[in-house]
Structure 1
Amino acid sequence: MNHTVLQVLLLAVVVLPLLGALGALLPAPPGLKGRDPEQAVLRHGVLVTGAVLALSIALAVGFDRAQPSRMQGTTDVSWIPALHIRLHLGVDGVSLPLIVLTALLTFLCALHAYYKMPEGPTAKAFVALILLLEGGTLASFAVLDLILFFLAFEMVLIPMYFLIGRWGGDGRERAAFRFILYTLLGSVVMLLGLLLVGFKAGTFDMVTLATDKGSGLSHSTQIIAALAIGLGLAVKAPMWPLHSWLPDAHTAAPTTGSVLLAGVLLKMGTYGFVRIVLPITPYGAHTFAPYLAAFAVVGILYGSLACLALARQGAEGDLKRLIAYSSVGHMGFVLLGIATLTPTGVNGALFANVAHGLITGLLFFLVGAVKERYGTTDLDRLSGATGAALYGAAPRLGGLLAFGAVASLGLPGLAGFWGEMLSMFGAFRPAAGLDRGAYLTYMTLAAFGTLLTAGYLLVVVRRVCMGERDAEARVLTDVHGYEFAAWTPLVALTVLAGLWPAALLGLTNPAVRTLLGGS
């Protein structure tokens, strides 16, 4: 596909959700009104997100897979000449999978909301916020200017704040406040680092800066910039101990909010490490890599132990909160892979990013379905003879929950396996100059974390899916048609990525090697 067509497709992918958000706030034309005043705007959300997904798939089909390390479909025009800020967009093998993942999850959320709108204010505001969040996320993965990246990075915070605060469950005000407080403070620090890089190097263009490999920045500038930018990204990642906003946000958010938060927003932080910190401040990245790896491993163990504590009998653990803590552990593997500074580790991190989006997105959909049927996600109330016993009460839902659990624990043949394995392989032989003994320790501890992960997920399956149903227990509706439509793509892609990892690694590997200086 020629450059102009790719350029138009990428622009449309970024701009269409923003136009759709504006359109959602306008009165619906008479011929498009549905069964009630909210039906038309919900249909509008499905149509716009479906169009964005179709455009992103067309972008992926037209992408030149023979040159995934080259920026394709680029747009580069001057925006603020005095500050050397440009409207620069493009896509390569690192960003393309995340763009498609974002478009897919947002469409599935819009489809789910069409049939099961969360309780709260008007559907107009809900759909507009979903589309605004999608536009900001897609822009974060497509822009190639540091200031534009910051603006897109910030654009998603306000929609998610309102989705949690207005459509969330118990404790939503506190959860939304913690979310916005942590992420805004991190963003302020990140902005200082981005400005330092741009003014010292004389440009904010990410491609130019990555090509220079930090040659225009002194070692001290790189260290300060890597620390500032890394802290801002680590909050969103989420890296232990900057993760404490996440469990509350997930627990309080509506199902669609949890899916997008886990499946899309967390990826923006780790993407920033790969796109900005590693290639633009290589000396700073090398300096802080051992510390990043240490925090990542602590996050893996901490997340797994927290989940084990929530899963035990009598702990009154919340299933949704448990899945949130599991994200801290899974994203720890992503950060460990990045901290190895090797192509193997970084490729593993990018693979784990996509796998986590698919699997955890599916799990939050499933947990939302369990809550809809039982009115609770409390594990103590869901377990036992009079509890969920999903295999007997709703066998398809129980089977899907078990599938999501085994995929999340990294069963070979499913998507969760490859990313974590490659991250640990990268730790086995880290980049030159890094202490291999320390990284072998990190690898061993991370491997132990996989055992803990298997432990708590199998406990969850046993407690929620197994057991005898009480004879007087009410009959439950198994998987609805709209739920099947929303979940099937995630199941299929989880299996496909597990059986054919080369489809994704073939895109990321050349681009990663270019970003790391051809190593």
Structure 2
Amino acid sequence: MIALACVLPLLVGTVLLGGGTELSGRIASRAGALGALTTLVLLVVAWMTDAVVDIPWLPTLDLRIHLALDGISGPLALLAAVVTAAACLTTWAERPRGGSEATFVGCLMLTLAGAITTFAARDALLFVVAFELVLVPMWVLITRFGDDRDPEARREAGARFVLYTGFGSTLMLLGVLLLVSRAGTADLGVLGAAGGEGLGTGVQVTIAVLLTLGLAVKVPVWPLHSWLPLAHTTAPTAGSMLLAAVLLKMGTYGLVRLPLATVPEGFARVAPVLAVCGAVGIIWGGLVCLVERDLKRLIAWSSIAHMGFVALALASGSETGVAAALYGNIAHGAISALLFLVVGGLKHQWGDDHLDVPRAALREGAPVTGLLLVVGLAAGLGLPGLAGFWGEFAAVIAALSPAQGRPETLFVGCAMVAAIGAALAAGYALRVARLVWLGEGHPGDDGGRARELARTDLATGAVLALLVLVLGVAPGLLLAVTDPALAGVVQR
């Protein structure tokens, strides 16, 4: 089942790419959504039955195709399948520009195949290969199917994406090769159980620096973040959904599975720097969101702030911190996918997403769409009872009491900065609600009267909103799954 879950979206994506213009948009989107939902079922069965694939890949180098899911990777794989199905359905209302729908949906499915393989990989080099597979179709989504009103911005977004992610991939590969060569194995389970035993402090620090810096580009963590806002602004709605809910999650998952688990002593030396960068990113993103005038770009900057909480929680190194990071990862994936679904649909409807254009109240012209937007904004500001609260609240608590060996004064300072960032999140979320949901114009203004999104978008948005609500009301459902898996990551 785990092998089928990795191969099925790859096959569907390849067929759609080969079909080209011969396949209509509706057929392509239905095939993609059906393939993603079938993959979701396969993942659930594989996870429940503890399915494992472990076969030789390159015997001369002792490399294996080793796939399995646990409480850390399983929820992320399920989230990737759900968001990809939702992204495929958005093509019903927002036809991709710059190419055929089959090619567009095919790229979405190839991204899903690489993401699931990345989350399921138990071989360090297989992890790297699967991670890089995701970057190619994502680059195509940005450069070929991105906003065609500004070709220069689209080319720049693609160039930055390649430059930054390529730089991060090079550092990550160097770190993995050094780790595997010194430890004598690429098995992530064995590496995690050893916890850096037999590796000197200098080697652990070097590996941790390479891995953390390379993966920080993927997250992204300040100051390596400048590629993300432009990529989100240019990408189509479906591309932004996958970029926020899948690609960014792969980066934070890599931080948990590689430096934190395999070289804990080296990561402890790097953790204070990561904590400071995460805290600065929270404030930086929040301040930009307070003055940003493009709605989609504002949501992209808010993602940088939210991933700062995840970085701070991971840097704390405690059980609470890692659990908070994993929870915040899932929560942000659902919230960001919901927000980009709604905001992307509104941008397609309005023709732009400028907040300085007076618009009629969304709650009057499109109450269901307005409700979905309010749920996403409320979850993003960390309102209790919604998914965003638990990850951010626990991240601040973890920073107040970091793991042994970390400078407590520095982490307490970072916790205070993060708390201020949470207040900024409330400020910019309410600003968007005032300008868009309450509205400042009239139906006769340039903004016009808003209309409801397409039924498919409303249905998928409702599913994501329900997920945000369930995670907020019953956090124990996810924590009960992730907690047992933390034994292989955190020194208890």
TM range (shorter): over 0.9
Determine the C-alpha separation between the residues in 1 that align with 2:362 and 2:181: 58
Distance 1:188 1:468, change over 3 A: closer
Alignment partner of 1:22 is 2:14: yes
| Secondary structure of 2:98's aligned partner | coil
Residue number in structure 2 paired with 1:361: 337
1:317-352 deviation line (CA, Å, top 9, x unaligned): 100000000011000000001000000011000000
Alignment partner of 1:158 is 2:140: no
1:173-216 deviation line (CA, Å, top 9, x unaligned): 11011011100111011111100010111111111111111113
1:104-157 deviation line (CA, Å, top 9, x unaligned): 000111122134322221122212211111100111100011110000110111
Determine the C-alpha separation between the residues in 2 that align with 1:25 and 1:402: 37
| Secondary structure of 2:385's aligned partner | coil
Q: 2:127 aligns with which of 149, 154, 165?
A: 149
Q: 1:195 aligns with which of 177, 183, 189?
A: 177
Q: Name the % identity.
A: 43
Q: Which amino acid counterpart does residue 253 of structure 1 have in structure 2?
A: A
Q: 1:320 aligns with which of 288, 296, 303?
A: 296
Determine the C-alpha separation between the residues in 2 that align with 1:155 and 1:133: 7
Determine the C-alpha separation between the residues in 2 that align with 1:59 and 1:75: 10
Note the 1:130-141 alignment, pairs <5 A: 130-141=108-119
Residue number in structure 2 paired with 1:51: 38
In the TM superposition, residue 27 of structure 1 has moved relative to its aligned partner by 4.4
Residue number in structure 2 paired with 1:514: 488
Alignment partner of 1:271 is 2:242: no
Residue number in structure 1 paired with 2:413: 441
Determine the C-alpha separation between the residues in 2 that align with 1:415 and 1:305: 23
Q: Which amino acid counterpart does residue 469 of structure 2 have in structure 1?
A: V
Distance 1:37 1:460, change over 3 A: closer
Alignment partner of 1:431 is 2:403: yes
Q: Which amino acid counterpart does residue 39 of structure 2 have in structure 1?
A: V
In the TM superposition, residue 468 of structure 1 has moved relative to its aligned partner by 5.6
The question of whether the paired residues in 2 share the 8 Å contact of 1:163 and 1:254 is answered with yes
Determine the C-alpha separation between the residues in 2 that align with 1:103 and 1:470: 40
Distance 1:468 1:326, change over 3 A: closer
Determine the C-alpha separation between the residues in 2 that align with 1:59 and 1:152: 19
Distance 1:18 1:471, change over 3 A: closer
Residue number in structure 1 paired with 2:27: 40
Determine the C-alpha separation between the residues in 1 that align with 2:485 and 2:183: 23
Note the 1:241-390 alignment, pairs <5 A: 241-310=223-292, 317-381=293-357, 383=358, 387-390=359-362
In the TM superposition, residue 399 of structure 1 has moved relative to its aligned partner by 2.1
The question of whether the paired residues in 2 share the 8 Å contact of 1:278 and 1:515 is answered with yes
Alignment partner of 1:102 is 2:80: yes
Unmatched runs of 5 consecutive residues or more in structure 2: none
Distance 1:468 1:233, change over 3 A: closer
Determine the C-alpha separation between the residues in 2 that align with 1:232 and 1:181: 12
1:356-401 deviation line (CA, Å, top 9, x unaligned): 00001100001012112211100001x3xxx142122222222221
Residue number in structure 2 paired with 1:128: 106
1:261-296 deviation line (CA, Å, top 9, x unaligned): 001100111101111111111111111111110110
Distance 1:254 1:73, change over 3 A: same
Distance 1:480 1:431, change over 3 A: same
Q: 2:54 aligns with which of 48, 55, 76?
A: 76
The question of whether the paired residues in 1 share the 8 Å contact of 2:328 and 2:391 is answered with yes
In the TM superposition, residue 41 of structure 1 has moved relative to its aligned partner by 2.6
Determine the C-alpha separation between the residues in 2 that align with 1:237 and 1:476: 34
In the TM superposition, residue 78 of structure 1 has moved relative to its aligned partner by 1.7
Let me know the Cα RMSD of the aligned residues.
1.6
| Secondary structure of 1:238's aligned partner | coil
Distance 1:40 1:394, change over 3 A: closer
The question of whether the paired residues in 2 share the 8 Å contact of 1:297 and 1:445 is answered with yes
